[in-house]
Structure 1
Amino acid sequence: MLTLPLRSVLSLSHATQFAEQTTNASPRILLADDDMSFCQLMSILLGHAGYHLIVVNNGHDLVRTAQEERPDLLLIDLVMPNLDGYEALRQLRNDSRTAHLPIMILSARSDASDLVCGFETGADDYITKPVTNEELLARIRGQLRRANRRPVHSPLTGLPGNALLIEEIRYRIQRKLSFALLHLDLTNFKAFNDTYGFARGDQAIHLLANLLRERTTNESGSFVGHIGGDDFALLCMPERAIPLAHAIIAQFTQVAPNLYDEAHRLQGCIEAQDREGVLRRFALMGLVIGGAIQTPGRFQTPESISHCVAVMKQFAKQHPTSAFVVSLADHQPPLTGP
């Protein structure tokens, strides 16, 4: 397999200049290629350019890692074990969690038919190996710039996306406002999506989005955001966090079974493969909520309160059914329910 020219990778003046212009939050790039030598060269190049590189070596891990990590950009080879690049690309474009991610094919295949197939399957760019570091970095920067100019609202739900959510959290922290941040996540969504397909999966996401809209219509100081996929966020007044968490979970668990076929509703479960490919039973979808209360001075940045909320959501996921866990204050045990 062809790789980047070694002389180009080791000549890093251009990459170093760009690294000096990057922010502290390094863009994350997911590279999928089964050529380990090529991956090592890419790690040197992109690392010096200020990027954080995640490497996988087959198509199956590419899809799984993209769904879990939500990188800023993907670089994928076409010839990989388990799942080739074309099929991985199709799956990524058909999944609401990854459909919006910029994807660049980086392949030794240079036939016109390969380029056409790559673009028609959903690639944003197609680069043939070998390529100089200057050209590769320029194309990466171009894709990231275009991604940053894309609509800031979710194309699936119309709700504000992650960028607007972070901006809103920062605004409230800087003005020393008290508020609650809740992160909401569907449980067993992957099993549902795998069983019924992406269209039904999108119905589940729409259901939760509409429920959040309805529940917050008359809530003072509320803000609903769609982080991506089946992940949502809600900002509200501190005293409304627990009542809203109760009400949202109760309403979702009441209506979610209607998304399933009658046989699965009666069984109370579906059979699907887990992430290791093992067939097992999954309960019907539920909802977990992690939250934290912000008082002036407790959290200094959107990242710090989001980290606390993520930890609370992990605790909530340990419950066998729908649950919420909310951090009320430092050095106090979190409140759990329902």
Structure 2
Amino acid sequence: MPAYSVLAASSDPAILDMAKAALTEENLSAILCGDGAEALESAQTVKDRPPLRLLVLEACLPKSDGFEVIRALSENPELKTVPCLMLLDPKQSPAARKSSVRLGADDYLQKPFEMNELRAKIHSMTKHFRAHAAPHPVTALPGHPELESQVLARINRGEAFELVCFDINHFRPFNDHYGTEKGDEVIRMTVQLIRNVLKTAGAAADEVALSHIDGDDFVILAPAGKGDKIRAGLKEKFQSEVQKFYSKEEIRKGFIFQKDREDKDQIFPLMRLSTAVLSAAKEKFSHYGQLVAEMNEALHQAKVGSSDV
């Protein structure tokens, strides 16, 4: 099954057939709609589809035109950033083409058009999220797009699950002080610790998903009830293993010196983990963006507070 979906809406069956063929060639799931009302409803239906990554809308749709669909979706926090390719009527003037971008379209294609023109536009407009979907260069782990797919899949199946979120505090000063090669070693060590802890926690490989969502930020999608055990095991192992990256004197003092941007020595504590466990269920959040915001807030509270959340 494709990892992402594209919604195409047109009153012309030939255009829908063309869109479906183009999306299939790009390995994207096609959501096909015949009018604006159907497009609006389908775009906001999460169940049984991969994450929506592009809208292809005919400007002159029946029931609700393409621009009305864009305006309505702009009120949805999860969908307001989804780009739109607007299919314009052949009679529309150059001024109308420019205004289509001003009214919310990210690009346009004027009818009539050839299959290769539509495919080229779709390919160009989906390059951005495809690049972000690439594995992390250091860990080869997937990032946010794959995590979103995994989260939505579990919601659609009605599964209860938890997100174990963590990052490495004071990683950047260490990376600046010792260099990126040593920093990459810390990241790879952390990933290996995660895998070992998951085995110890009794989490089967098909029950968990590990994502590397930023430089030193990770998220584990785990079965309900296993999050706290995973977190506790990981924190204990990390505190032991990370000391191997410091000198005996730095371990004794509990900090390192690193120059700031003004070339002044600053004291930075040794690396440690900030962690948070979130119980995720469909009734607790309305869209993936809200879940990400909750993860970020939970990690922030763990960093500034004295205990995990």
**Which range, TM-score by smaller chain?**
0.5 to 0.7
Q: Are 1:280 and 2:262 matched, yes or no?
A: no
CA distance in 1, matches of 2:262, 2:153: 42
231, 234, 253: which one aligns with 2:217: 231
User: Which stretch has the larger CA shift, 303-312 or 190-199?
Assistant: 303-312
Between the aligned partners of 2:134 and 2:143, the Cα distance in structure 1 is 5
User: Which residue does the alignment assign to 1:146?
Assistant: 127
Change over 3 Å in CA distance of 1:305–1:282 after alignment to 2: same
Query: What is the RMSD of the two structures over their aligned residues, measured on CA atoms?
Result: 3.4
Alignment CA distance shift 1:192-1:167 (3 Å): same
Pairs aligned (count):
203
**Residue 194 and residue 179 in structure 1: after superposition, are their counterparts in 2 closer, same or farther (change >3 A)?**
same
> Highest Rg: 1 or 2?
2
Q: Distance in 2 between matches of 1:231 and 1:195?
A: 20
**Using the alignment, how far apart are the partners of 1:159 and 1:249 within structure 2?**
20
Deviation at 1:262, TM superposition (A): 3.4
Equivalent in the alignment of 1:188: 170
Q: 1 CA distance for matches of 2:240 and 2:255?
A: 15
Q: 1:146, CA displacement in angstroms? A: 3.5
Task: Give the Å deviation of 1:279.
Answer: 3.0
Q: How does 1:1-338 map to 2 (within 5 A)?
A: 24-25=80-81, 145-150=126-131, 152-217=134-199, 218-220=202-204, 221-274=207-260, 279-319=265-305, 323-325=307-309
Q: Quote the Cα distance in structure 2 between the aligned partners of 1:277 and 1:49.
A: 46
CA contact (8 A) 2:165 2:277 kept: yes
Find the residue that maps to 1:239 and give its secondary structure. coil
Secondary structure in structure 1 of the residue aligned to 2:165: strand
SS at match of 2:151: helix
Percent sequence identity over matched residues?
Answer: 24
CA distance in 1, matches of 2:187, 2:247: 17
Query: Could you tell me whether the CA contact under 8 Å between 1:290 and 1:311 is conserved in 2?
Result: no
5+ long unaligned stretches in structure 2: 1-58, 60-66, 84-100, 107-121
Contact 2:228 2:277 in 1 (8 A): no
Cα offset, 1:277, TM superposition: 6.5
Q: Where does structure 1 lack aligned partners over 5 or more consecutive residues?
A: 1-16, 28-45, 52-140, 326-338
Q: CA deviation at 1:305?
A: 2.1
Aligned-partner SS, 1:247: helix
Aligned pair in 2 of structure 1 residues 252, 144: CA closer, same or farther (>3 Å)? Answer: farther
Q: Which moved more, 1:282-291 or 1:268-277?
A: 268-277
